């Protein structure tokens, strides 16, 4: 364990994108003792803030210098920017660099990125990952490494990845505070995330937007409405890309949810108290199993 910690501390790391998640990664890396953390962003003010807050040692508008020096790179770009970033920067990555991402969809991204790496002949190891933690707000001002505490992390299983690098990434995310690290295929990832993340956002958005606004809703809500709708305050650019990038799986989960909602609707129409209670008991038992 001591050897791994020493290795992690001596890594040169670059974060690509210093938004709410990228800056939280940078902050977390500095807190765990990594000595050299660089940041890349298109916004000079963001870079300045990251340097002032000591989240990074140095920030860059251009990519070449930090990428050429970095043993470990975390890319926190939106899904639709990933391919062009790799096309433009594939030749800058350091030999044997470990690269990971935080994108909430995987099959599409991997299909875009893998051919670029293979064609380049570069000896780099891209381990696709997904931290199940985030904020409804965007930008470096709202970045906080505490968001990772006790959260879940998914690493994509791929035979191309080196075992020692998978183990290193797993140790890093545990040191960041993530409680459970799971290994899934890209297909498995996109199926379960369509249910646990994308469907829940779709439901929250639909619930808020279904308000007829006949009443001053804010005066009559309790914790149930607040809890269910917290994630309806949503980054429209990012989530539109995530929904469309995983459309097939998300549509399947929406249909699955609609069928279950129809059971409750039919029970109400039929005055079927037994079915309502049965569904309530089932949901209670399932919810009690969740940490």
- Segment 221-265, tens digit of pLDDT: 999 999 999 999 999 999 999 999 999 999 999 999 999 999 999
1-184 folds as Rossmann fold (3.40.50)
| Angstrom distance (rounded) from CA 199 to CA 182 | 20
Side-chain-side CA neighbours of 288 within 13 Å: the count stands at 6
Residue 134 pLDDT: 73
- Whole-number pLDDT of residue 142: 87
CATH architecture of the domain 189-288 equals Orthogonal Bundle (1.10)
Residue range(s) occupied by CATH 3.40.50.720 in the chain: 1-184
Summarize the confidence of residues 275-287 as an average pLDDT: 97
Both tokens assigned to 103? 């994108």
Band of the pLDDT at 67, cuts 50, 70, 90? very high
- Residue 291: the pLDDT is 72
Residues 260 and 237: their CA atoms lie apart, in Å, by: 30
User: Would you place residue 191 in the very low, low, confident or very high pLDDT band (cuts 50, 70, 90)?
Assistant: very high
| Res. 137 pLDDT band, cuts 50 70 90 | confident
Specify whether the CB–CB gap between 108 and 79 falls below 8 A: yes
Q: Where in the chain is the domain with CATH 1.10.3660.10?
A: 189-288
**The predicted structure's pLDDT at residue 1:** 57
User: Rounded distance, CA 36 to CA 215, Å?
Assistant: 54
Using a pLDDT cut of 90, give the percent of the chain over it: 92
pLDDT category at 36 given cuts 50, 70, 90 is: very high
């Amino acid at each position: 364990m001591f050897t791994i910690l020493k290795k992690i501390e001596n890594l040169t790391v670059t974060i690509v994108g210093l938004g709410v998640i990228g800056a939280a990664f940078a902050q977390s890396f500095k807190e765990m003792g990594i000595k050299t953390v660089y940041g890349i962003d298109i916004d000079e003010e963001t870079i300045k803030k990251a340097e002032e807050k000591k989240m990074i040692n140095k920030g860059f508008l251009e990519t070449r210098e930090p990428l050429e020096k970095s043993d470990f790179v975390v890319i926190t770009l939106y899904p639709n920017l990933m391919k062009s970033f790799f096309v433009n920067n594939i030749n800058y990555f350091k030999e044997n660099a470990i690269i990971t991402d935080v994108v909430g969809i995987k099959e599409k991204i991997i299909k875009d990125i893998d051919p670029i790496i293979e064609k380049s002949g570069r000896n780099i190891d891209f381990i696709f990952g997904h931290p199940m933690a985030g904020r409804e707000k965007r930008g470096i001002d709202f970045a906080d490494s505490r968001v990772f505490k006790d959260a879940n992390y998914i690493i994509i299983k791929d035979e191309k990845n080196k075992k020692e690098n998978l183990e290193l990434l797993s140790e890093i995310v545990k040191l960041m505070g993530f409680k459970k690290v799971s290994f899934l295929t890209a297909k498995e990832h996109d199926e379960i995330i369509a249910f646990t993340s994308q469907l829940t956002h779709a439901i929250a958005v639909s619930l808020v937007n279904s308000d007829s606004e006949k009443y001053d809703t804010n005066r009559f809500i309790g914790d149930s409405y607040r809890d269910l709708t917290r994630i309806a305050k949503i980054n429209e650019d990012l989530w539109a890309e995530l929904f469309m990038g995983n459309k097939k799986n998300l549509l399947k989960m929406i249909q699955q949810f609609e069928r279950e909602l129809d059971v409750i609707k039919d029970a109400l129409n039929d005055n079927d108290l037994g079915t309502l209670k049965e569904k309530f008991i089932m949901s209670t038992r399932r919810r009690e199993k969740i940490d």
